[in-house]
């Protein structure tokens, strides 16, 4: 019995699956950063410094998420090519969730303050 695997029996296509995942993380993080900046821009007249802090937090979390995803890509690529295993980390998902929450809090604060100031 041979322990060598044929190319068609390989579990992954060398380099492409982790690369596609990294590209998806790049698009997602870019969307988080842009949404944070747009939210900051629209909330600035209403919330002032709070909108700048929330927007900066969202952009920072998007950058952190991408750097964690990049490190995960390097780890996965190396591991798949060395021993055909795929290590997983939940840190990019955790920081992406935090970025979405920052954007949501900024939008909710904008709506709450904007709505209450128009009724007065």
Extract the tokens encoding 76. 């996965």
**Spacing of C-alpha 103 from chain mean position:** 12
In the chain, how many H helices and how many E strands? Answer: 3, 0
Domain that holds residue 101: 14-118
Q: How many structural domains does the chain have?
A: 1
pTM above 0.75, yes or no: no
Higher pLDDT: 4 or 56? It is 56
Q: Does residue 2 sit within a domain?
A: no
pLDDT score at 91 = 83
Summarize pLDDT for 14-66 with one digit per residue, the tens: 657 778 888 898 999 999 999 999 989 988 898 899 889 988 998 999 999 99
pLDDT score at 20 = 83
Q: Does residue 5 sit within a domain?
A: no
Inter-helix orientation angle 91-118/16-47, to 10°? 20
Q: Does residue 58 sit within a domain?
A: yes
Q: Does residue 94 sit within a domain?
A: yes
**Spacing of C-alpha 47 from chain mean position:** 25
What rounded mean pLDDT belongs to the chain?
80
Beta strands in the chain (DSSP E): none
């Amino acid at each position: 019995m041979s322990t060598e695997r044929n190319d068609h029996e390989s579990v992954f296509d060398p380099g492409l699956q982790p690369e596609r995942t990294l590209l998806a993380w790049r698009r997602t993080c870019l969307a988080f950063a842009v949404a944070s900046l747009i939210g900051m821009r629209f909330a600035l007249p209403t919330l002032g410094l709070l909108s700048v802090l929330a927007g900066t937090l969202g952009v920072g979390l998007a950058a952190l998420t991408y750097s964690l995803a990049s490190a995960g890509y390097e780890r996965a690529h190396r591991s798949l090519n060395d021993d055909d295993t795929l290590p997983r980390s939940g840190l990019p998902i955790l920081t992406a969730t935090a970025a979405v929450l920052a954007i949501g809090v900024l939008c909710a604060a904008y709506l709450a303050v904007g709505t209450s100031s128009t009724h007065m």
